[in-house]
Amino acid sequence: MKIDRIELRQINLPFISPFQTAGGIEESSNSIIVKVTSGGVSGWGESSVSRDPHYIEETTSTVLSIQKEVLAPLIMKKKITNPGDITEILKNVRGNRFAISGLESAVWDLWCKTKKQNLSKYIGGKKERVPVGVSIGIQKNERELISLCDNYLREGYRRIKIKIKPGWDIIPLKSIRERWHDIMLQVDGNCAYSYKGISVLESFDKFNLLMIEQPFSYDDLLYHSVLQRRIKTPVCLDESIVSEGKAAEALIMDACRVINIKPGRVGGILNAVIIHHLCRKNKIPVWCGGMLETGIGRAINVCLASLPGFTLPGDISANSRYFKRDIVMNPFKLNADGTLTVPTIPGHGAIVDERYLNKVTINKIIIK
Ligand code: OSB
Ligand code: MG
């Protein structure tokens, strides 16, 4: 198979409500949507980056430029015998993992469609439905937070994650736990804590959390390991785990007892599957994180989460939690048991609504 055409699109798709983390606020999806074509068949991928480098170093504009100038020319017209070849072809590219993942996942979709294989089945997915939760951004006050939790729990989400930062942690946790003693609850610090503030995190055991996600800096494994030794609650790493090597290092250091896997952060589906295998071998539970993806990245996440080691609910809510209208024809709906149904059609399963995609596209680059 040879890729004969690559289409890169910058989109602007407004969220239902702005999403605030310790790093910043996001009002709309600024993902790069990738379409690759070979012999009349197309595959779709997504680089789910943000406009600003608050979660990782990459941004919408760096992704677009690296894909156009560096990655697409390396991939075009190369003979591809399986999607893993993309990771091999791009192995000398440093960093830029979200940029790589958009192209890599599009090639996986194309390849699976060509072979009439479903992505979940092809990578070894075992589940027909995957348990999911909801991630709630930083709110103005506890009243708004409680009302959002209430709505999501009524909709059927069984696990709540809240974003925290110094000054917005004990108060929201107390107010949630006063109202719901035993819901599955976890927190995400998005690197906002300094090791000097470790004592507040040490006090979280009393809230009976599923995990504390990435409280310290993305380049800090040491203090995550110090924290993990001092608390019972599992530490989960997100930003720090950018490769299989980093995951192995974190496990040796006991820097976490849970890992959040996102295809974008680790440079694509293949690396995500490899990290899953490593964690499973080491009996470390994993779950699929989210980057507020459109329906394309969301379908990829659901397929990934069908692997057997994804035993914890993912940050993969139904499309309607993010967008009034998504760029796919077949949005996921939340099942009554708090799960999403894994697609079974060839590829990752998202059927792109190209007319609506055209409407929300603000920049398009075609490489032939
Ligand atoms: O840290 O998990 C994160 C969103 C954007 C960037 C980083 C993160 C998140 C989320 C939202 O927590 C997860 C989602 O619902 O997609
Ligand atoms: Mg996170």
**Ligand 1 pocket at CB < 6 A:** 55, 135, 188, 190, 238, 289-292, 315, 317
CA–CA separation, 28 vs 312, rounded Å? 27
Return the amino acid letter for 262.
K
Q: How far is the CA of 9 from the centre of ligand 1 (A)?
A: 22
Ligand with minimal distance to 50 CA: 1
CATH number, position 68: 3.30.390.10
Q: Are residues 63 and 165 in the same domain?
A: no
Q: Are residues 113 and 126 in the same domain?
A: no
> Could you tell me which residues come within 8 angstroms of residue 143 by beta carbon, excluding any fewer than 6 positions away?
none
List CB-based neighbours of ion ligand 2 within 5 Å. Answer: 188, 213, 238
| DSSP assignment letter at 128 | S
Q: Are residues 186 and 314 in the same domain?
A: yes
Task: Output the pLDDT for position 77.
Answer: 76
Q: How far is the CA of 6 from the centre of ligand 2 (A)?
A: 30
Q: Is residue 78 part of a domain?
A: yes
CA–CA separation, 325 vs 327, rounded Å? 7
Task: Output the pLDDT for position 111.
Answer: 97
Return the amino acid letter for 239.
E
Q: Is residue 36 part of a domain?
A: yes
Degrees to nearest 5, angle at CA 186 with 226 and 349: 115
Residues of the chain with pLDDT under 70: none
Q: Are residues 355 and 215 in the same domain?
A: no
Q: Are residues 93 and 155 in the same domain?
A: no
Task: Output the pLDDT for position 24.
Answer: 86
Q: How far is the CA of 132 from the centre of ligand 1 (A)?
A: 13
Degrees to nearest 5, angle at CA 164 with 240 and 148: 125
- Looking at the DSSP assignment, which residues form a beta bridge with residue 8? 34, 365
Q: Are residues 11 and 99 in the same domain?
A: yes
Q: Are residues 221 and 189 in the same domain?
A: yes
- Looking at the DSSP assignment, which residues form a beta bridge with residue 178? none
* Cα of 91 vs its chain's centroid, Å: 22
Q: Are residues 166 and 59 in the same domain?
A: no
Q: Are residues 251 and 363 in the same domain?
A: no
Atom of ligand 1 nearest to the CA of 161: 12
Q: Residue 311 corresponds to which tokens in the numbers above?
A: 């035993």
The string of pLDDT tens digits covering residues 204-231 is 999 999 999 999 999 999 999 999 999 9
Task: Name the residue of 21, 162, 266 to mutate for ligand 1: max ligand atoms within 8 A of Cβ.
Answer: 21
Q: How far is the CA of 140 from the centre of ligand 1 (A)?
A: 18
Q: How far is the CA of 161 from the centre of ligand 1 (A)?
A: 10
Q: Is residue 55 part of a domain?
A: yes
Name the residue with the closest Cα to ligand 1, atom 9.
291
Question: Which residues are catalytic, by number?
Answer: 163, 262
CATH number, position 301: 3.20.20.120
Task: Output the pLDDT for position 21.
Answer: 86
Q: How far is the CA of 346 from the centre of ligand 1 (A)?
A: 27
Q: How far is the CA of 137 from the centre of ligand 2 (A)?
A: 11
Ligand with minimal distance to 162 CA: 1
Q: Is residue 151 part of a domain?
A: yes
Q: Are residues 101 and 180 in the same domain?
A: no
Contact yes or no for 264/291 (Cβ under 8 A): yes
- Looking at the DSSP assignment, which residues form a beta bridge with residue 261? 288
Return the amino acid letter for 33.
I
> Could you tell me which residues come within 8 angstroms of residue 354 by beta carbon, excluding any fewer than 6 positions away?
none
Atom of ligand 1 nearest to the CA of 317: 15
Q: Is residue 292 part of a domain?
A: yes
Atom of ligand 1 nearest to the CA of 322: 15
Residue 362: phi, psi to the nearest 5? -110, -5
Q: Are residues 207 and 309 in the same domain?
A: yes
Atom of ligand 1 nearest to the CA of 239: 1
Number of domains in the chain: 2
Task: Name the residue of 292, 319, 334 to mutate for ligand 1: max ligand atoms within 8 A of Cβ.
Answer: 292
Q: How many CA atoms lie within 13 A of 49 on its CB side?
A: 28
Task: Output the pLDDT for position 140.
Answer: 94
- Looking at the DSSP assignment, which residues form a beta bridge with residue 20? 25
Name the residue with the closest Cα to ligand 1, atom 5.
291
Q: Is beta strand 41-47 parallel, antiparallel or unpaired with respect to 5-11?
A: unpaired
Q: Is residue 346 part of a domain?
A: no
Task: Output the pLDDT for position 22.
Answer: 80
Q: Is residue 260 part of a domain?
A: yes
Q: Is residue 163 part of a domain?
A: yes
Task: Output the pLDDT for position 238.
Answer: 98
Nearest CA among 30, 35, 34 for reference residue 59? 30
Return the amino acid letter for 26.
E
Length of the chain: 368
Element (H, E) at 272: helix 269-281
Q: Which domain holds residue 68?
A: 5-117+351-367
- Looking at the DSSP assignment, which residues form a beta bridge with residue 260? 287
Dihedral sign from CA coordinates of 215, 220, 221, 223: negative
Degrees to nearest 5, angle at CA 212 with 206 and 213: 170
Name the residue with the closest Cα to ligand 1, atom 13.
290
Atom of ligand 1 nearest to the CA of 214: 1
- Helix then strand then coil, in percent of the chain rounded to 5, is 35, 25, 40
Name the residue with the closest Cα to ligand 1, atom 1.
190
| DSSP assignment letter at 294 | -
Q: Are residues 85 and 166 in the same domain?
A: no
Ligand with minimal distance to 157 CA: 1
